[in-house]
Amino acid sequence: MQTPTPGSNSLSGHCVLIVEDEYFLAEDLVDACRRLGAEIEGPFNNLQEALDTLSNHEISGAVLDVNLKNERTFPLAHALREREIPFVFTTGYDRSFIAAEFQDVPLWGKPFDIGAMTNELVDLILKSQKI
């Protein structure tokens, strides 16, 4: 795993929502985002808990596993998009599994380079702040 380093790609002052049902991957995502200075909500392995958290917290960006225990996270993706919060998908499936309206969302196939994925998330968050 490539380790992200603080610097221009810092998540300091940002909160990242992590939705992932694979325990070790979730912990690695939390650690990588924290090393970049992010506050973390999650990790959640339950869609409703993630939706409730989104409603009650200021989120800057998110990492969504597409499939949580056979439950799709597209309702959460809809909510994030409505709030103009950038996010990435992670999945063991290919892009054809992703709903058509989310074909533009970055997709990271498992296993993936956590450092590269978090760097892309940082770029998305920082770009959304400049708009």
Identify the pLDDT of residue 5.
Answer: 43
Q: Which residues of the chain have pLDDT under 50?
A: 1-8
Structural domain includes residue 2: no
Structural domain includes residue 5: no
Structural domain includes residue 126: yes
Whether residue 11 contacts residue 33, with contact meaning beta carbons closer than 8 Å, is answered with yes
Identify the pLDDT of residue 4.
Answer: 41
Identify the pLDDT of residue 50.
Answer: 97
SS3 letters for the chain?
A: CCCCCCCCCCCCCCEEEEECCCHHHHHHHHHHHHHCCCEEEEEECCHHHHHHHHHHCCCCEEEEECEECCEECHHHHHHHHHCCCCEEEEECCCHHHCCHHHCCCCEEECCCCHHHHHHHHHHHHHHHHHC
Cα–Cα nearest to 41, from 25, 52, 53:
53
Identify the pLDDT of residue 97.
Answer: 87
Identify the pLDDT of residue 9.
Answer: 56
Identify the pLDDT of residue 93.
Answer: 87
3-15: pLDDT as tens digits: 444 444 589 999 9
Domain that holds residue 73: 15-130
Structural domain includes residue 9: no
β 67-68/39-44 pair status: unpaired
Structural domain includes residue 69: yes
Q: What CATH number corresponds to the domain at position 55?
A: 3.40.50.2300
Identify the pLDDT of residue 101.
Answer: 94
Structural domain includes residue 21: yes
Whether residue 31 contacts residue 53, with contact meaning beta carbons closer than 8 Å, is answered with no
Structural domain includes residue 3: no
